[in-house]
Chains A and B, each alone.
Chain A
Amino acid sequence: MSEQHRYMKALKCRECGREYPLAATHVCEFDFGPLEVAYDYDRIKKSLTRAAIESRPASMWRYRELLPIEKEPTVGRQVGFTPLIKADRLARRLGIRELWIKNDAVNYPTLSFKDRVVSVALSRAKELGFETVACASTGNLANSVAANAASAGLKSYVFIPSDLEQGKILNSLIYGASVIGIRGHYDEVNRLCAEIAGKFGWAFVNVNMRPYYAEGSKSMAYEIAEQLGWKAPQHTIIPMASGSLLTKIHKGYQELVKVGLIPESHPKVYGAQATGCSPISTAQKAGLDFFKPVKPDTIAKSLAIGTPADGFYALKVMRETNAAAEDVNDDEIRDAIRLLAETEGIFAETAGGVTLGAAKKLIECGKIPKEDSAVICITGNGLKTLDAVSGHCGKPREIKPSLREFEALLTQEESARA
């Protein structure tokens, strides 16, 4: 891996294509377009073979030539390679021939796909000499930065809105992160954090480290393709917050074709949003190239970004792959969380409810054909959003410590079922 740095070529503006050195920077100085990592795919093709990958440990780093670090990963070496589950019971309920669940609800160490992007951002931050890392988050990202920074011996700052629920704050405090609650509206916190990122010279994972951070999402696509027997799925349904995950999963499939690891096909990537925060799906349904900013109002807090940074690019990818977007309301999100739990034994967070709910609609309306095969991306664990389903799952029945009472209860249940 001493030659790993040769696989990354430069940071490249997604708008004008201008190239920049591989530093901690994220915006093109010419047109303020976002920067993205560019690779030398010819060189990667020579060393990254199926045999090489399969000989490596089962983590996201088995595809390390396609991830933006120079040396061996130093943070989150166990992250990724989460299960891809053939969901036959759920497939029957949705009426589709074949369905798979990519289950990042059990990703290591903080039970969400954010561990992928954070381990890349922090590994790169260490390579660039940073000792302090930071993020602004209401949940999964904060937990992941706090946990991964702790294990890497990095100092971490986590910025949150001050009215965030206590449970979510504890999930970052426990790792020893400096958690700063900022009084103000969500968008005010957002803006202050953009300023802080520019002023203090820390590795702010989704600001100045964003080009590297975002690349971590591609590993989900690599794993799906390998776990399907080295092929891209026909349809992938992906939750959209900023829209970055969707664009990176698409990029991941394309890269595997480029380096000769999978045959060329035309995988379609579909976006899922909550109706209470659906700027991208609303634009997609209306046939627009641009989204209109919205004020979020949904139980799917992890997807509640009213001004999605990669919304434009997510729309472009859906258009290019001839796919679509869909959104679901809060009741449909809860129903989908229960459906996944009851059919496949997977408890997803609200974003998972959004993705499954949207997939259900896309299959019902025929945008995803029933005779095809699809992959649903579950990105976080239901234990993180218990409040969203609390009071919507029924209650335990209570009985006295009496066998007779229990038998009476069973009889009652059987007659109710009949």
Chain B
Amino acid sequence: MEKKDSGIILSIRDVSKSFPGVKALDNVSIEIERGIVHGIVGENGAGKSTLMKILSGVYTKDTGKVMFDGETIEHTTPIESLNRGLSIIYQEFNLVNTMSVGENIFLGRFKEMNGMRGTHAEARKLLDSIGCDIDTRTLVGDLSAAEKQMLEITKALSFNSKLIIMDEPSSSLTSDELKQLFAIIGDLKARGVSIIYISHKLDEIFELCDIVTVMRDGHVIDTKPVGELTRAEMITKMVGRSIEHEYPERPRCVGDTLMEVRSINTHKLHDISFELKKGEILGFVGLVGAGRTEIVRAICGADKVKGHHVLVEGKPARIKKPADAKKIGIGLLPEDRKLQGLVLRFSVQSNIVMASLDKMTRFGFVNSSREKEIAERQISNLGIKTPSAQTTVLSLSGGNQQKCVVGRWLEINPQILIMDEPTRGIDVGAKYEIYVLMKQVVENGGSIIMISSELPEVLNMSNRVLTICEGRITGEFNPEEVSAQTIMDSAIG
């Protein structure tokens, strides 16, 4: 037994876990070999996160056996897992924003590090070892998502981790940062560290992983070397049905000019001018921090810009705050669903009716039956999977949460819907549904501005693409005519 297991760093056997009403994991067995990158793919709700939380000790398993590095693990706590050499990097970073980089790496280990000086010195060494030059005294709250990712990896290394689990590590990284992450992962692998790489992005799985496990509805469907699977096979296994297309057919209903934006200038934006046509999906491509989000925030009045630069149907629109934008029919799906898009502790219903409450209000009183009716209608139209309209949004999966935000804006029949990273952290099946929704919006006469870090979805959904680099619009393309390479070149500048 021991001999056989020496090549296995982590073995999960017949692990099950139930929550009230749901069997989150059903007899799951996975073995992770030393020094490889093991991908785990599956739609949201497939049980990946539950499995990770059992490994880290946040949840306790109902049945089954977990062996890590030759030891059986029964009950564990997050810190015990870390000390054993098992680190997990969550999608929502486990960092204290109000503290410095160095202190975050050695959180709770101040004494062992001999105070502040030792903390910073050790942190510097570790950061250097992965080629990262962040100042250890910077506040974590001031770091970019990519830098936080590096920090999390450094933190994992500080525990001499033998196995690092990364949950959706690429969801907020640009392609350059992703390359850097891949390089670091390659380096870790060379040092003999095993990696579990959880991702929705199949391209990454194919590029990075040696072995891949597909999960669905709490079961392990298959574990295979990556080379033995095609992309289509993998998708079929993930969704349990074959998806013929990842994208619906490109909508074609572009009409006359609907909105005109004239020379927005701020600290970060320079001479931003463009047009949006009726029934058009306009894609914004650029690196994170290029100014994509700032442009739409300026249009919606979420950030202050001097003067009026937006013309809707030829008339100047006075937009000083998002409420003004709503009045003239501009809806914004913010980049950060959880912080800006949803009130997580509110019910599905409250979140959906949030923007359209005045429609169901008379003399200041809300008509609650109408409120319910609207919520129910959006839930069924969009296929939001929720036990009831009264369930808190917090308990829904990412895809269903995003649909709640979409539902909110569809209810006010927006002329212009601005979608900032509409499919971030959403699985393949739910992505397709969001694309279909986008198509419906433009077919019903609306227009969409779509911002995305995922080039393929912009290329497949947009009628026109603008590339943005360092706060300037650097190019305009017809995605049907040019290659992804051309567009990316223009976006990098």
- A and B associate: no
